[in-house]
């Protein structure tokens, strides 16, 4: 008689969540618990900020006290620097949640011999760990600690002993290191003795500054392998993953009016799905912003808050222009239902824009978001980068069931069913506006190219902008 097969139970690697937004998604839950992680990068890449936020969030969110051993900055400097990110390190220290220990190393006093070891450091570090029952440790940076070594055999042995000591102590450690010219780190050795290696990069492309992160190695765990942009803002570090986001959100069935009754009729008489994405593309002057204003007016009349990101016109200009076609937006701004965020895309990079959108949405909690127009982002990044940013934005707004309306400028009159940002495939509803000549005058026309989940009309309608608003007529 055949024996039943035994089910193999896999022992998953235990992890310590960092609390850093996005990083825990990429690493599948955090850093390896009780093991060392190497953070490497060039000057200004953000190594110290990552390390300190790992400790601060561990103490505040996960009740894991930490020890920060610095070989470059003293405690007073660190406390002052991180107060700008909203962290009161003084308070954490007084509550026995954090120890900051500054170790001054004079390179000229370091004598390298075969008997050189780190026993003095281990004693000092062990005392700091035991004094608060620390679960997390940061060593910042290795270069200062090993600046006097030239013998790679001694250096490799001491590194292995250091990381083994940290493992035996049972603490989750983060060690920072400077990036070398042709190697991952200056000595080219640390990555071989760390269980997890994360590389930070700070680059400037066409005068736009971008920081990126990549997990190079993670023993015993799968992880995201792409480069992920991250920001250092007043509220800490934010990493923006794209491939790690799952597409398991629920599809709602509630409908909201477009603000144009005839357009609603073309969408089964019900309008857009709430929480869906709508793209309106067309040439200059076809009425894209007017359609956005109609949707805003309809939402505000229902008492729903709206957030309008304008990348070409100011709030005052939009209010004046829409007033000329019978849409008075100023009462909604006075009531606090409509909030404008007007800025030029070239003010900062794509990731900074995405961060601003996230932050404003969290603050305003809107039911409707307008981005007008998204084609202006091409002046900041390549089409593929813009699509990546819009993808992450769509994942965010859909997770919150926010209806999002995008406008896109079509430069080519001969190819209206094309967007320079290549985001049409991400949209639930795509509406095209065009100019055409008839009887010696230019008229506008509208048609619905697609609308997922809706039996929409395939007719082409005349799109009229009058002093009393927008109307659609038979073409």
What is the average pLDDT score of the chain?
A: 83
Domain boundary among 210, 239, 268: 239
Residues 162 and 99 in one domain: yes
Are the beta carbons of 214 and 64 closer than 8 angstroms?
A: no
CA angle 326-327-333, nearest 5°? 150
Residues 225 and 363 in one domain: no
The enclosing domain of 229 has a CATH number of: 3.40.50.300
Q: What Rg do the C-alpha atoms of the chain give, in angstroms?
A: 28
**Least confident stretch, 244-253, 338-347, 379-388, 462-471:** 244-253
Verdict on whether the full-model pTM lies above 0.75 = no
Q: Which residues contact 55 (CB under 8 A, 6 or more apart)?
A: 66, 67, 68, 98, 136, 138
Residue 340 to residues 245, 296, 353, 433: CA-CA distances in angstroms? 29, 11, 15, 24
Residues 191 and 338 in one domain: no
Residues 235 and 261 in one domain: no
Residues 82 and 50 in one domain: yes
Kindly state the average pLDDT of the residues 18-26. Answer: 87
For the chain, what percent of residues have pLDDT higher than 70? 83
Domain membership of residue 344 (yes or no) is yes
Domain boundary among 175, 206, 239: 239
User: In this predicted structure, what is the pLDDT of residue 112?
Assistant: 47
- Domain span including residue 369: 255-474
User: In this predicted structure, what is the pLDDT of residue 244?
Assistant: 42
Are the beta carbons of 328 and 264 closer than 8 angstroms?
A: no
Residues 403 and 282 in one domain: yes
**Least confident stretch, 71-75, 305-309, 388-392:** 388-392
Kindly state the average pLDDT of the residues 462-466. Answer: 92
Q: Is 84 left (phi over 0), alpha (psi -120 to 50) or beta?
A: alpha
87 three-state secondary structure: coil
Judged against a pLDDT cut of 90, whether residue 136 lies above it is answered with: yes
Residues 299 and 386 in one domain: yes
**Least confident stretch, 39-43, 105-109, 167-171, 300-304:** 105-109
User: Token pair of 306, please?
Assistant: 């709206």
Mean pLDDT comparison of 19-28, 191-200, 270-279, highest-scoring range: 270-279
Model confidence at 420, pLDDT cuts 50, 70, 90, reads low
Domain membership of residue 1 (yes or no) is no
Residues 212 and 311 in one domain: no
Higher pLDDT, 149 or 293: 293
Mean pLDDT comparison of 154-163, 204-213, 273-282, 405-414, highest-scoring range: 273-282
Structural domains in the chain (count)? 2
Residues 223 and 299 in one domain: no
């Amino acid at each position: 008689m055949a024996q039943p097969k035994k089910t193999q139970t896999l022992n998953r690697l235990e992890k310590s969540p960092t609390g850093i937004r996005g990083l825990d998604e990429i690493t599948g839950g955090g850093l390896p618990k009780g093991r060392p992680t190497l953070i490497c990068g060039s000057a200004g890449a953000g190594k110290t900020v990552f390390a300190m936020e790992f400790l601060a969030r561990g103490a505040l969110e996960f009740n894991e006290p930490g020890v920060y051993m610095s070989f470059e900055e003293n405690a007073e400097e660190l406390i002052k620097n991180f107060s700008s990110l909203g962290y009161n390190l003084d308070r954490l220290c007084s509550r026995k949640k954090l120890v900051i220990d500054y170790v001054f190393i004079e390179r000229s006093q370091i004598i390298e011999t075969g008997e050189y070891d780190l026993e003095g450091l281990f004693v000092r570090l062990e005392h700091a760990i035991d004094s608060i029952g620390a679960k997390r440790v940061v060593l910042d940076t290795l270069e200062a600690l090993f600046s006097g070594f030239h013998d790679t055999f001694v250096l490799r042995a001491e590194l292995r002993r250091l990381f083994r000591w940290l493992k035996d102590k049972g603490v989750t450690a983060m060690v920072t290191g400077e990036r070398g010219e042709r190697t991952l780190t200056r000595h080219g050795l640390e990555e071989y003795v760390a269980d997890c290696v994360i590389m930070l990069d700070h680059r400037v492309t066409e005068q736009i500054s971008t920081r990126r992160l990549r997990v190079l190695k993670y023993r015993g765990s799968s992880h995201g392998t792409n480069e992920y942009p991250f920001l250092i803002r007043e509220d800490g570090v934010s990493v923006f993953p794209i491939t790690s986001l799952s597409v398991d959100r629920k599809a709602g069935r509630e409908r909201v009016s477009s603000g144009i009754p005839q357009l609603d009729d073309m969408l089964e008489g019900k309008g857009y799905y709430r929480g869906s994405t709508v793209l309106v593309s067309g040439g200059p002057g076809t009425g894209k912003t007017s359609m956005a204003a109609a949707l805003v007016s309809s939402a505000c009349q229902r008492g729903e808050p709206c957030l309008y990101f304008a990348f070409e016109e100011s709030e005052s200009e939009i209010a004046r222009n829409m007033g000329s076609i019978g849409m008075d937006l100023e009462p909604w701004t006075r009531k606090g239902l409509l909030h404008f965020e007007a800025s030029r895309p070239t003010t900062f990079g794509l990731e900074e824009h995405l961060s601003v959108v996230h932050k404003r949405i969290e603050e305003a909690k809107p039911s409707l978001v307008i981005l007008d127009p998204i084609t202006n982002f091409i002046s900041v990044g390549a089409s593929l980068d813009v699509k990546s940013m819009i993808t992450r934005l769509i994942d965010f707004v859909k997770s919150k069931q926010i209806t999002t309306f995008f406008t896109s400028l079509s430069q080519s009159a001969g190819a209206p069913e094309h967007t320079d940002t290549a985001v049409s495939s991400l949209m639930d509803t795509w509406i095209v506006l065009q100019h055409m000549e008839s009887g010696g005058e230019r008229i506008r026309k509208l048609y619905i190219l697609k609308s997922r989940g809706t039996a929409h009309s395939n007719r082409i309608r005349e799109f009229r902008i009058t002093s009393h608003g927008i109307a659609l007529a038979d073409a």
